[in-house]
Amino acid sequence: MSLQCGIVGLPNVGKSTLFNCLSNAKAQSANFPFCTIEPNVGVITVPDERLIKLGEICHPERGVIPTTVEIVDIAGLVKGASKGEGLGNKFLANIRETDAIIHVLRCFDDENVVHVDGSVNPVRDKEIIDAELQLKDLETVESRIQKCEKAAKAGGDKNAKLQLEVLVKYREALSQGKNARTVELENKDQKAAAKDLFLLTNKPVMYVCNVDESAAVTGNAYVEQVKEAVKDEDAQVLVLAAKIESEIAELETYEERQMFLEEIGLQESGVNRLIKAAYALLNLRTFLTAGSDEVRAWTFKAGYKAPQCAGVIHTDFERGFIRAEVIKYADFIELGGEAQCRAAGKLATEGKDYLVQDGDIMHFLFNV
């Protein structure tokens, strides 16, 4: 399932440092703008503690196979990007191709790291990028309004009238400097019409506050300013120290990394928290398969039913779906395996309408 989160932000806020922590595909990281010209794509393993416990029970021959998510490092945007400044058109096109946005904000002071606007102000930085994305969205909306107005008048097109209603709502919000995701749509039809617009500021977003080591656990005043600025948006705020994360990533063993985290007061690395949050931001969930051959995590979109999840493994599984055998993760761990769950009546047989839940351990029966 190829869904991508794009990392965006002004130059020198820590995007590429963060990306390097996330991926073995090393992006350049230097103290000047436009260091990253082409977007770097990293396929990132999604941390899942459930797999470790299942592996301890099943002892799979082929091992434990986690699922992944794609992260794209997009070059730093600057003021005027919507008009092509700083290679802006190309960068905006790269953002358009992603499914969700990770917006990195500089929330640390360091006189040795140049800020493109001369001072540290994460709310201003957010507003600069928001404004560029909003201007591009406004162009899109204005263009579509003209087409819809003609179609609605000429042929009384109901779909055109519906889309026009949605477009006018977006135009009003964008003209006021608000993101499209702040617009409340009235019904399912309007929401369906909105999806076809692919607006940049309607993508799910997570704000990552890049802090120094002293604020890695508690945050700081800059973080509080960001939280206040985004309180009306449907957005997450995550705090991490990219510089510290890069040092953790260099450590060779899990034990060393955990010791480092404990020393600075963290239970889990910011990178792990970010990957999990990005996975959720894309509305992704995980079902599991567990046996003596392998333990494996599989990605599905929230709302998938059993046949669709079967199709994630192989299209033949969906085409010839008969039923699914489902064990809840908690039962599998508590009872110690599939055989024990089967004997205790904790294995459920589900049909085509079963809505798969995150963490379900699945076995599909099919015939083609």
DSSP string, 76-137: PP-TTGGGTGGGHHHHHHHHHTSSEEEEEEE----TTS--TTSS--HHHHHHHHHHHHHHHH
Given a cut of 50, whether residue 92 has pLDDT beyond it is yes
CA-CA distance, 333 to 337, in Å (whole number)? Answer: 7
Picking from 23, 47, 106, the residue whose alpha carbon sits closest to that of residue 268 is 47
Given a cut of 60, whether residue 34 has pLDDT beyond it is no
CA-CA distance, 240 to 18, in Å (whole number)? Answer: 9
- What's the pLDDT band for 323 if we cut at 50, 70, 90? very high
- The more confidently predicted of residues 368 and 39 is 368
Mean pLDDT within 108-119: 77
> Cβ neighbours of residue 84 under 8 Å, at least 6 residues apart?
none
Strand partners, 105: 209
Tell the residue number behind the tokens 């406004």, with chain if given. 138
- What's the pLDDT band for 215 if we cut at 50, 70, 90? very high
Given a cut of 80, whether residue 126 has pLDDT beyond it is yes
Q: Poorest-confidence range of 140-154, 169-183, 275-289, 290-304?
A: 140-154
The fraction of the chain above a pLDDT of 90, given in percent, is 45
CA distances from 17 to 13, 106, 217, 245, 247 (A): 9, 12, 19, 9, 11
**225 membership: H or E segment, kind and range:** helix 221-229
The amino acid present at 250, given as its one-letter code, is E
- Surface-to-core class of residue 277, CB atoms within 10 Å of its CB (0-12 exposed, 13-18 middle, 19+ buried): middle
pTM of the shown model? 0.83
Picking from 268, 186, 248, the residue whose alpha carbon sits closest to that of residue 21 is 248
Q: Poorest-confidence range of 37-46, 143-152, 156-165, 188-197?
A: 37-46
Given a cut of 70, whether residue 125 has pLDDT beyond it is yes
At 76 the pLDDT is 65
CA-CA distance, 323 to 306, in Å (whole number)? Answer: 8
Q: Poorest-confidence range of 36-45, 302-311, 337-346, 354-363?
A: 36-45
Given a cut of 70, whether residue 32 has pLDDT beyond it is no
Given a cut of 70, whether residue 31 has pLDDT beyond it is no
- Surface-to-core class of residue 196, CB atoms within 10 Å of its CB (0-12 exposed, 13-18 middle, 19+ buried): exposed
For all residues of the chain together, what is the average pLDDT? 86
Mean pLDDT within 113-122: 78
Given a cut of 50, whether residue 243 has pLDDT beyond it is yes
- What's the pLDDT band for 155 if we cut at 50, 70, 90? low
Mean pLDDT within 224-233: 91
Given a cut of 60, whether residue 280 has pLDDT beyond it is yes
